[in-house]
Structure 1
Amino acid sequence: MRVLTGVMLCVLLGALDQTVVIPAVPAIAADLNGFGHLSWIVTAYLLTSVSCTPIYGKLSDIYGRRALLLPAIVLFVAASGLCGMAQDLGQLIVFRALQGMGGGGLMAMAQASIADVIAPRERGRYQAYLSGMWGIASVAGPVLGGLLVDHLSWRWIFWINLPLGIAALILSNRALRNLTVHRREVRIDYPGAVLMAGCVTASLLVMSWGGSSYPWASVQILGLSAVALGLLVALVAQERRSIEPLLPPRLFGHSVFTSAVSIAFLASAAMLGATFLLPLYFQLAHGVDAATSGTLLVPFLLASVAGAYASGQAARRFGRLKYVVLTGLAVATTGFALLTLLAASAGPVAIAALMVLMGAGLGTCMPSSLVIGQNAAERRDIGTATGALLLLRAMGGAFGSALAGAVLALSFGAALTQAGHAAGIDPGLLRTGFRAGFLACTVVSAAGLLVALLMRDLPLRSGN
């Protein structure tokens, strides 16, 4: 519990910083006179945090979790202070990138530290606490960000990280001091790190820019896609010949670990796709304002936390997770399918019920896929396995958001541009567009269900 208390603050810091900034974007743009590249306030953090996650995982397997977590917290807190003092948008983007480098370590080391002290069979119970912290940040982040912007300044959304970060530093230092470190002399796979960072960056830029900044068939997007594919091929070749690879091929040679990564990717894609679609659905199809649409999303987020908690209890009781994940994905797929069919006619109560199904089903997959992956990995690869799975899960989330945005753009993007506002779009076209978006989420969730069905049911270890 001492370790858990320390790392829960780290999870809160990392999760809160991804949501609290959203309501502040217009105020930042007005204050810094930078409306042209606002998306980079979010994108810069995402790029560096995702790229650094596997590197933190690998290095922590060599030097210990504490040796990586404490510098990550210091970097995150220092960069938060700099973000709050930024004088123009360029400075803020650079400082957000630095903040992301620290934030990637917060999430990876928190999850790996739990794996160090809790057996896989018991781990789901404690992962549920971390998922709950994530859920709290998801709900409270936009509300807190709005309050700080309205009553103080947008700069406080970054400065509030300072006291939280100092508390996390003190608690984590005490909590992780007694963890055993099996330090070993190895050669760091620097070429692999560079190739992986480049591949992740190019891939995320494709998903961020495609269909919004540039058309999907544009030279820029096709060129970035080719770069990402080339770097991926080079990364695979590098990892196969490296003595101490950043992403060991032996990990991905384990069918259960590969299945866990695939489930994490697909479940995260469905989750973020729904998180992207639902507020827009409420605003454009039902005419509510932005604040109300965020409130209407709460049942979905709270249900995901409840699903995570239930999966942890089931893991502890049965010692296996395959059928927990299967059940969750079946429930989520059913919810998405029903929403696809009923999106045009369902009332608020029916929509809320379907959101509960989708959220609870996907919520079981987030901690469960991580525990399955860690359980399949060798003890020496726990940090590496955690970093790899979190990387692919984040990539899945980016893919889900991009997929949902692309579907909507194909469905009524041109009509929205021409009309200038949602009220000018034919209601039938709106309903068709959102049904297509929810159908895409249904297909993604069903793909995860198929992977879970074919996955070997590996018993969870009762000891580390």
Structure 2
Amino acid sequence: MMKSPTQAKPMDGIAVERNATPPLSAETPNVDQPRYTQRETLLTMLGVLLVMLLASLDQTIVSTAMPHIISELQGFDRYTWVTTAYMLTSTVMVPIYGKLSDLFGRKSIFLIGVSVFLFGSALSGAAQTMNQLIAFRALQGLGAAALLPIAIAVVGDLFTPRERGKWQGVTTAVFGLSSILGPAVGGWITENTTWRWVFYVNLPIGLIALGVLIFLMPTLHRKVAKTKIDYIGAVLLVLGTVPMLLGFTWAGGDLPWLSVQIIGLFSFALVALVGFFIYEIRLAHRGEQPIIDPRLFKNSIFSISILVTMITNMGMFGSIFFLPLFAQGVMGVSATNSGLLLSPMMIALMISSVISGQLISRFGKYKWVAIVGLLITIAGMYLLYRLNVHSANLDLSVAMIVVGLGLGFGMSTYTIAVQNVMPDKIGESTSALTFFRSIGSTVALAAMGSLMSSAYVPAFHNALPANLKLMLPAKLISALDNPNILLSPDAQKQMLQQFSKYGPQGKVIYSQLIEAVKVGLTQGIHNVFILSLVLMVIGLVAALFLKEVPLRGSMTRKKTQTVDDLTTEVESVSPAMLH
């Protein structure tokens, strides 16, 4: 008996398409994603790329301007909180937005996300205190959670797994462009106008993106049998994730690891998360729509990809975030030039990502790409570990280039692998992958910030000459327990003027103090790089267990269309004609 159009399967690994494509169904297993017209594809990708540009440009601009921001708002002790708050809210909302996009369409979620993100950007630019900035960045995160993960899911809707490798270069070019322009623009804005414009610059880009989404982008609506929203699961997820991330943020810094508050946060988080997964299992067994289906973890490719991306993202995000701090605080590089120093790494990342994407599409395999990328990244992390107070700009640039080459190889590899084995759960699996990756980033940032701060003070005091400890007032030395002076040229100038009153000997004392502060900060960041290196090695070991499943889909649309024509002709044969 002939199969109906909705039952037809791929032929020889080539995606079978229809002239009349049926609606997307999150419940339809073992089929490639449907094809859209060329106009729909191009307009959709235009919206996707603009959204990616908006989200990635914000991250790169803000990270470079952060040293100046914390100097003006006097918030070194909350240095990591500006990003942690952003990551906290965006992490919690990612799987919720992912499921909603499956239920109600990608376009509506994009519109909500971009609107909230722009509102948060405007408020962040107007912040008057560090606490206000942290709160408004959290609001930004609520919107940002809908941007990148849904954009990646849209690429999964439009193309077969093998085709996605080629599009990896296009999407990565946006990241590369924003990563190159963002730090330089952020540094230039900070030094020539005010840091507030690093947030206001999102507004014109965001308005353009909104226009494209509203008027040009199709809905890409996946029709499902049931559209009941998992409110209880969402509440349990928030109640579990937020205390857990707060615990990692405060532990070892503001509060001891074994304090009642930290233990209480982790205990509450554990209970809520266990309750969340139990409830999600019940929903899945009833045939409803859980936010994260626990049965996804039965797939080894999904589980290994989650593990590797979490671990490697912890090493990557933690180390990269502290590079501008090292360049400006230890090497004395200006905000603009520290942004330019990051450019070689991003260019290398862009080049290697384009090459790896082409190789994945050509050969239809991904495991060797992931392993090669991790090996190169480990070499780059080792070069970062070797940096010290006397390192030159060239030393830092070489290390970042190697890190960038390695990171580019694995940037989208695991997403392609997961979407390849879960074609009927692209939105859910992609958002889950992004969710756990974000958790890794947030935990790493909080832990590494605590590690840096706790290592700085003893290293600074150990670097002080013994005669200075006896000569200088204890109050002056304790004031330098915060290395904020390295990030403020004005403060350094005022301090030098004060010591210059005591003649040449005063200038020598000033130089020794500043050198000790640099040594302390270097040691703190040095410990961060060590942890990053260890994490990358663990990620490499985990990647060795990743299964290789040949990527579905054709290399070219021409082949696919030929099969379409053949399939259409075969399916047009009536049962009577077969007798």
- Under TM normalisation by the shorter chain, which class is it? 0.7 to 0.9
Aligned length: 463
TM-score by length of 1: 0.87
- 2-structure distance, mates of 1:311, 1:330: 14
Deviates more, 1:28-37 or 1:133-142: 28-37
- 1-structure distance, mates of 2:130, 2:386: 43
Q: Which amino acid aligns with 1:267?
A: T
> Does 2:460 correspond to 1:416?
yes
CA RMSD of aligned residues (A): 3.3
> Does 2:385 correspond to 1:363?
no
For residues 192-341 of structure 1, what are the structure 2 equivalents within 5 Å? 192-242=233-283, 243-283=288-328, 286-340=331-385
- 2-structure distance, mates of 1:404, 1:234: 29
Deviates more, 1:82-91 or 1:395-404: 82-91
In structure 2, the residue matched to 1:439 is 530
SS in structure 1 of the partner of residue 412 of structure 2: helix
SS in structure 1 of the partner of residue 146 of structure 2: helix
Of the three residues 444, 447, 459, the one matched with 2:550 is 459
Q: 1:16 to 1:284 in 2, by over 3 A?
A: closer
- 2-structure distance, mates of 1:115, 1:122: 9
- 2-structure distance, mates of 1:159, 1:288: 25
- 1:92 CA displacement: 5.0
In structure 1, the residue matched to 2:104 is 63
Q: Deviations over 1:72-113 (max 9, x none)?
A: 222223343444455766665544333222111111221111
In structure 1, the residue matched to 2:93 is 52
- 1:258 CA displacement: 1.1
Of the three residues 199, 202, 210, the one matched with 1:158 is 199
In structure 1, the residue matched to 2:428 is 384
Q: Deviations over 1:137-180 (max 9, x none)?
A: 33333432344445555444333323212211222334531635
SS in structure 2 of the partner of residue 425 of structure 1: helix
- 1:259 CA displacement: 1.2
> CA contact under 8 A between 2:180 and 2:346: conserved in structure 1?
yes
- 2-structure distance, mates of 1:386, 1:152: 39
- 1:207 CA displacement: 3.3
Of the three residues 422, 446, 451, the one matched with 1:402 is 446
- 1:275 CA displacement: 0.7
In structure 1, the residue matched to 2:467 is none
- 1:290 CA displacement: 4.9
In structure 2, the residue matched to 1:448 is 539
Larger gyration radius, structure 1 or structure 2: 2
In structure 2, the residue matched to 1:373 is 418
In structure 1, the residue matched to 2:572 is none
- 1:425 CA displacement: 3.2
SS in structure 2 of the partner of residue 105 of structure 1: coil
> CA contact under 8 A between 1:326 and 1:452: conserved in structure 2?
yes
- 1:453 CA displacement: 0.7
Deviates more, 1:37-46 or 1:451-460: 37-46
Q: Which amino acid aligns with 2:547?
A: R
Q: Deviations over 1:195-237 (max 9, x none)?
A: 2122222232233333343343443333322232222222222
> Does 2:111 correspond to 1:20?
no
- 1:390 CA displacement: 1.0
SS in structure 2 of the partner of residue 176 of structure 1: coil
Deviates more, 1:436-445 or 1:46-55: 436-445
SS in structure 1 of the partner of residue 257 of structure 2: coil
- 1:266 CA displacement: 1.7
Q: 1:295 to 1:52 in 2, by over 3 A?
A: same
Q: Which amino acid aligns with 1:305?
A: M
SS in structure 2 of the partner of residue 366 of structure 1: coil
Deviates more, 1:138-147 or 1:358-367: 138-147
- 2-structure distance, mates of 1:287, 1:98: 33
SS in structure 1 of the partner of residue 49 of structure 2: helix
In structure 2, the residue matched to 1:106 is 147
Deviates more, 1:261-270 or 1:86-95: 86-95
Q: 1:432 to 1:126 in 2, by over 3 A?
A: same
- 2-structure distance, mates of 1:174, 1:382: 25
Deviates more, 1:173-182 or 1:452-461: 173-182
> CA contact under 8 A between 1:277 and 1:404: conserved in structure 2?
no
Deviates more, 1:95-104 or 1:247-256: 95-104
- 2-structure distance, mates of 1:84, 1:343: 35
- 1:436 CA displacement: 4.0
* Structure 1: segments with no counterpart, 5+ residues: none
TM-score by length of 2: 0.71
> CA contact under 8 A between 1:122 and 1:312: conserved in structure 2?
no
Q: Which amino acid aligns with 1:445?
A: M
Deviates more, 1:396-405 or 1:445-454: 396-405
* Structure 2: segments with no counterpart, 5+ residues: 1-41, 462-477, 484-512, 555-559, 561-579
Q: 1:430 to 1:64 in 2, by over 3 A?
A: closer
Q: 1:213 to 1:13 in 2, by over 3 A?
A: farther
In structure 2, the residue matched to 1:116 is 157
